[in-house]
Amino acid sequence: MIDHVSIGVRDLARATAFYEAVLGTIGLEKLVTRADTVGFGKRYPEFWLNRRGALAPRPDDGTHVCLRAPDEKAVQAFHAAALAGGAVSDGAPGLRPDYSPTYYAAFVRDADGNRIEAVTFLTSSR
């Protein structure tokens, strides 16, 4: 079981503002702020932003992180908040029957090329 994940970002202040809005839609909040890192979570930091060098991201660079959302509406809110914050859609909210008949997810790429996903499992497929 994974305890926490960290992703690299070039501009910690920009990324913090972006992730505060996006992660708030699925119940995570900013819990720790340090000079070069910020941690988000529910009870303890589960998702960390770490300042990295100034290298420009390439389209497929970055990390893929999937975060559990409480329901379908939260997945939709996650996607909308990410796009409003400047992310690029890498998969609109919807069922992913290739993964599972009840796998409902959305994917975005942040400004650093990280691919962030929100998923919930519906009680039944449609």
CA dist list (Å): 34 to 37, 50, 59: 5, 10, 28
Tokens of 52: 């990295």
Single-letter residue type at 90: D
Tokens of 21: 């809005």
pLDDT of residue 100: 92
Low pLDDT (below 70) residues in the chain: 1, 54-61, 125-126
Domains along the sequence of the chain with CATH: 5-53+62-121 (3.10.180.10)
Are the C-beta atoms of residues 66 and 72 closer than 8 Å to each other?
no
Q: Which H/E stretch holds residue 75? A: helix 72-84
Are the C-beta atoms of residues 97 and 122 closer than 8 Å to each other?
no
pLDDT of residue 87: 97
How many of the other CB atoms lie within 10 Å of CB of 99? 12
